[in-house]
Structure 1
Amino acid sequence: MKQSMSIAMAFVGLLIGAGFATGKEMMQYFVSFGSTGMWGLVVTGVIMVVFGAVVLQIGSYFLADEHGAVLKNVAHPRLSWLLDAAVSITMAAMGMMMLAGAGSTFQQAFHVPAWLGSLLMAVVVYFVCFLNPDKVAKVIGAVTPLMIVAIIAIFIYSLLHIPEDFSLSAANAVAQQEPSPVQPWWWSAVNYSGMSLICAVGMSLVIGGSYTKLRDVAIGGMLGGIILTVMLTFETLVLFLNVDAAAGKDIPMAAIGSDIHPIVGVSISALILVMIFNTALGDVYAFSRRVNVLAPRHPKINLFIILFISWLISLVGFGSLIQIIFPILGYIGMVIGVVFVAWRIRWSKLIAGEKARRNRIRQLTRVHIHPEIYVDNSLELNHELEGSEADNDKLLATVAEEERPNLELDAEEYKEPGQS
Structure 2
Amino acid sequence: MRQGFKVLQVAFTYIGTIVGAGFATGQEILQFFTEYGKWASLTIVLSSLLFVWLGTKMMLIAHDTGANSYEDLNAELFGKKAGKWISFFTLFVLIGVNSVILAGAGSVFVENLHLSYQTGLLITLIGTYILLGRGIKAILQLNSVIVPFMLLLSLMILINTIHHPSAFNFIRLDYDRSMFATWLSPLLYTSFNLAMAQAILVPLGSQLKDRNVIKYGGIIGGIGIGCMLMTAHFAISAYMPGIRQFEIPMGSIAFALGAAIQIIYVILIFMEIFSTFVADIYGITLQVRQHIQVSPKLLTLFIMTTCYLVSQFGFSSLLSILYPVYGLLAIVWVFHLIKSPLGSFRSKS
TM-score relative to the length of structure 2 = 0.79
The residue number in structure 1 matching 2:228 is: 231
Within 5 Å, give how 1:196-345 maps onto structure 2.
196-212=193-209, 214=211, 217-243=214-240, 246-284=243-281, 286-287=283-284, 303-313=304-314, 316=316, 326-344=323-341
Within 5 Å, give how 1:17-32 maps onto structure 2.
17-32=20-35
Per-residue CA deviation, residues 126-184 of structure 1 (Å, 9 max, x unaligned), is: 33454343546566432222112111111111112x12x678499946x97xxx9xx71
CA distance in 1, matches of 2:25, 2:35: 15
Residue identity over aligned pairs, in percent, reads 19
CA distance in 1, matches of 2:319, 2:252: 18
Q: Residue type matched to 2:305 in 1?
A: F
Within 5 Å, give how 1:49-68 maps onto structure 2.
49-68=52-71
The answer as to whether partners of 1:171 and 1:241 remain within 8 angstroms in 2 is: no
The answer as to whether partners of 2:77 and 2:337 remain within 8 angstroms in 1 is: yes
The answer as to whether partners of 2:199 and 2:284 remain within 8 angstroms in 1 is: no
The answer as to whether partners of 2:161 and 2:235 remain within 8 angstroms in 1 is: yes
The residue number in structure 2 matching 1:121 is: 120
Unaligned runs of 5+ in 1: 357-420
Kindly state the Cα deviation for residue 257 of structure 1 after the two structures are TM-superposed. 1.3
- The alpha-carbon distance between structure 1 residues 330 and 148, as it changes in their structure 2 partners (threshold 3 A), is farther
The residue number in structure 1 matching 2:19 is: 16
The residue number in structure 1 matching 2:186 is: 189
Q: Residue type matched to 1:200 in 2?
A: A
Q: Is it true that 1:355 corresponds to 2:342 in the alignment?
A: no
CA distance in 2, matches of 1:170, 1:341: 31
CA distance in 2, matches of 1:34, 1:45: 18
Which of 140, 153, 166 matches 2:156?
Answer: 153
Per-residue CA deviation, residues 251-302 of structure 1 (Å, 9 max, x unaligned), is: 2222211123233223211210122123224434654676686596986566
When structure 1 is superposed on structure 2, of 194-203 and 84-93 the one drifting more is 84-93
The residue number in structure 1 matching 2:84 is: 81
The residue number in structure 1 matching 2:147 is: 144
CA distance in 2, matches of 1:328, 1:134: 34
Kindly state the Cα deviation for residue 65 of structure 1 after the two structures are TM-superposed. 3.0
Which of 95, 98, 107 matches 1:95?
Answer: 98
The answer as to whether partners of 1:171 and 1:240 remain within 8 angstroms in 2 is: no
Per-residue CA deviation, residues 42-69 of structure 1 (Å, 9 max, x unaligned), is: 2212222220232122122123332322
- The alpha-carbon distance between structure 1 residues 251 and 144, as it changes in their structure 2 partners (threshold 3 A), is same
How many aligned positions are there? 337
Q: What secondary structure is seen at the aligned counterpart in 2 of 1:201? A: helix
CA distance in 2, matches of 1:202, 1:210: 13
CA distance in 1, matches of 2:170, 2:58: 40
CA distance in 1, matches of 2:75, 2:171: 51
The residue number in structure 2 matching 1:70 is: 73
The answer as to whether partners of 1:21 and 1:272 remain within 8 angstroms in 2 is: yes
CA distance in 2, matches of 1:29, 1:313: 24
Q: Residue type matched to 1:304 in 2?
A: T
CA distance in 2, matches of 1:287, 1:202: 6
CA distance in 2, matches of 1:278, 1:211: 20
Which of 37, 46, 69 matches 1:43?
Answer: 46
- The alpha-carbon distance between structure 1 residues 306 and 213, as it changes in their structure 2 partners (threshold 3 A), is closer
- The alpha-carbon distance between structure 1 residues 111 and 40, as it changes in their structure 2 partners (threshold 3 A), is farther
Which structure has the bigger radius of gyration? 1
Unaligned runs of 5+ in 2: none
Kindly state the Cα deviation for residue 30 of structure 1 after the two structures are TM-superposed. 0.8
CA distance in 2, matches of 1:151, 1:91: 28
When structure 1 is superposed on structure 2, of 205-214 and 335-344 the one drifting more is 205-214
The residue number in structure 2 matching 1:373 is: none
Kindly state the Cα deviation for residue 5 of structure 1 after the two structures are TM-superposed. 5.3
TM-score relative to the length of structure 1 = 0.67
The residue number in structure 2 matching 1:402 is: none
The answer as to whether partners of 1:193 and 1:330 remain within 8 angstroms in 2 is: no
The answer as to whether partners of 2:43 and 2:183 remain within 8 angstroms in 1 is: yes
- The alpha-carbon distance between structure 1 residues 295 and 242, as it changes in their structure 2 partners (threshold 3 A), is farther
Q: What secondary structure is seen at the aligned counterpart in 1 of 2:348? A: helix
Q: What secondary structure is seen at the aligned counterpart in 1 of 2:235? A: helix
